[in-house]
Amino acid sequence: MRTAVVLCERPLGQLASAVTDRDHPRWSVVNEQLGVFKNGCPVVTPEHRIAVDLRLDPFTVDRKVRALRAQVAESASLVTAMDIGGYTAWVARRPSRRRRYVRRPACR
């Protein structure tokens, strides 16, 4: 089993979903068309404001994609819209930001 370890100089506090300003153009159309996030989330965040940038190794992302695809109601439309390669890339990275940088209602 593989584990992501995050080392921090100070406590992170509460985290919220984010998308980096660099990745936003790649995923924004899919996120908006499929209503992946609610309440205007994820908030587009500059790279230097990302608190945790979880990037899964190929073994772990493959395992996660298989588990998510088993939840057909939640994943079928996403896999169809993105194709399996796009869906895998979308799942492989999960940046998060500290909530204090939110300039609109907090995402849940």
- Report which of 30, 40, 16 is spatially closest to residue 75, judged by C-alpha positions: 30
CB-count burial class (<10 Å; 0-12, 13-18, 19+) for 19: buried
3-21 pLDDT tens trace: 344 444 455 567 777 888 8
pTM greater than 0.75 (yes/no): no
66-95 pLDDT tens trace: 998 988 887 888 888 888 998 898 888 877
